[in-house]
Chains A and B, each alone.
Chain A
Amino acid sequence: DVKVTQSSRYLVKRTGEKVFLECVQDMDHENMFWYRQDPGLGLRLIYFSYDVKMKEKGDIPEGYSVSREKKERFSLILESASTNQTSMYLCASRWTGEDTQYFGPGTRLTVL
């Protein structure tokens, strides 16, 4: 079974803090994604990566950056957290050549 894990299920941070959300997959997937999920808005793509050290902006990249130093790990970085970044963050991965994305359990981030 494909397994996508996220470092924290719940996280509380203060405005202005630098926040790291970690995602690890164990299936050697080339492609990894970060989404945020908000009530009434569904999931929106923040960033994705199709290879180590490669990244592409999604639909809402402002205020975020990413890092992919190893194939299995994809980090989402909030350089200076703000209250409007309070949300559920979901990581996903997939093989190149297949469109099914496998999702992690999510990290619910609250910025106070």
Chain B
Amino acid sequence: AQSVTQPDIHITVSEGASLELRCNYSYGATPYLFWYVQSPGQGLQLLLKYFSGDTLVQGIKGFEAEFKRSQSSFNLRKPSVHWSDAAEYFCAVGAYSGGGADGLTFGKGTHLIIQP
């Protein structure tokens, strides 16, 4: 069965500092990987996704993530955070079976706090 681990429940970063959120996955085949963000009281918004090809993917809001197969990781990064980045971040893994509606498996989330 597939699984996702986000080792950090909370992370506090100063505004303007760099950010890295960790994500490790377990999946038997080539995974489809996602990062979603959830602002307080809101639904989930897709930041970026990886299916194949270049292992460094760019997303919205200045985020990027790097897929490392050897480490089963898909860490999210941002060079300089803004106060508006404070939110809950979820890593997810999914499978596309050519027509079946497989749901995503989510990590438990990382709560990002931005210090002034």
Alpha-carbon distance between A59 and B2 when the two chains are bound, in angstroms: 12
Tell me if A96 and B49 are in contact (CB < 8 A). Answer: no
On chain A, the residues within 8 Å of B107 by CB distance are 42
On chain B, the residues within 8 Å of A30 by CB distance are 101
Would you call the interface of chain A mostly helix, strand, loop, or mixed? Answer: strand
> Residue B17 at the A interface, CB < 8 A?
no
In chain B between 27 and 57, which residues have their CB closer than 8 angstroms to a CB of chain A? 32, 34, 36, 42-46, 49, 51
| Pair count A-B, CB < 8 A | 67
In chain B between 75 and 90, which residues have their CB closer than 8 angstroms to a CB of chain A? 90
Alpha-carbon distance between A104 and B34 when the two chains are bound, in angstroms: 17
Which residues of A are in contact with B by a Cβ distance under 8 Å? 4, 30-33, 35, 40-45, 48-50, 56, 58-59, 90, 92, 94, 96-97, 99-106
Q: Which 7 A-B pairs have the closest CB atoms?
A: A31-B101, A50-B101, A45-B103, A42-B108, A103-B44, A43-B106, A103-B43
Known contacts A43-B90, A99-B49, then 18 further A-B pairs from the complex at CB < 8 Å, ordered by chain A residue: A4-B43, A35-B106, A43-B106, A44-B106, A45-B103, A45-B105, A50-B99, A50-B101, A96-B101, A97-B96, A97-B99, A99-B32, A99-B34, A99-B96, A100-B46, A101-B104, A104-B43, A105-B42
